[in-house]
Amino acid sequence: MNSLTGKVAIVTGASSGIGRATATLFAQEGASLVVAARGRPGLDSLVAEIEAAGGRAVALAGDVRDEQLAKALVDTAVARFGGLDIAVNNAGTLGEMAPVHELSTAGWHETIDTNLTSAFLGARYQVPAMVERGGGSLIFTSTFVGTSVGFPGMSAYAASKSGLIGLAKVIAAEFGAVGIRANAVLPGGTDTPMGRVVISTPEMRSFVEGMHALKRLAEPEEIARSMLHLASDAGSFITGTAFLVEGGVSICRT
């Protein structure tokens, strides 16, 4: 039996990168999926791929900063599949990149709202649905940026993604007694469309690879497998963690 058989999962930011790899893997492991992203074409191709492989998925396109989307995702999970067991709050943006004294207030707020406030809005509706289900697993995609390494020009991104760790810890403490787990996954450098915005030259790629003990970037599927561990019963005693999946970037000095 696959490890997520009978489970229902929401994955945001699912049209590409880590989100798409996670949704695909969860479907392969038996979960029914509600997937979200801003772009409809990427979502439609993902749903078609999942259904062609015998899985079940439904897509909602929208902006994760919209509280109504957060509610609609949970409502859809309940109406279409009977409940909610897993939520991967993964959608995010690099946002405006500039030294802190040049970063616009609007750029700061856009990044915080997209990466952090959206996760709060998601959890606001996901947690009650999981309580009804008797438990569940919330997963937030954080990063090594701002936790292990301070990249110049990325203060808003680092602050927003670091905030997810605190959010996960508090949710874990508040709802652990009713069977809800919450964790933040901290990927290292990963070969995704978003990652390539920063890692935009061969020289920059070589530099970032060298920051990691494994001397390479992750593939999205490698991060997805860590999400699966936390979502499934394999991670049944893991909660409130900043779960490092970062190729040793935090310990590498060579």
DSSP H or E stretch at residue 184: strand 180-187
Contact 157, 104 (CB under 8 A): no
Q: 9 has which bridge partners?
A: 33, 86
Determine the 3-state secondary structure of 2 from DSSP: coil
157 is catalytic: yes
Q: Which of 180, 167, 169 is nearest to 129 (CA)?
A: 180
Three-class SS state of 3: coil
What's the N-to-C CA distance of the chain in angstroms? 43
At 103 the three-state DSSP class reads coil
Query: How many CB atoms are closer than 10 A to CB 249?
Result: 22
168 CB-contact burial (10 Å; exposed 0-12 / middle 13-18 / buried 19+)? buried
Instruction: Quote the CA–CA distance of 244 and 103 in Å, as a whole number.
Output: 29
Question: What SS3 class is residue 83?
Answer: coil
Identified catalytic residue from 26, 108, 157, 175: 157
Which positions are annotated as active-site residues?
157
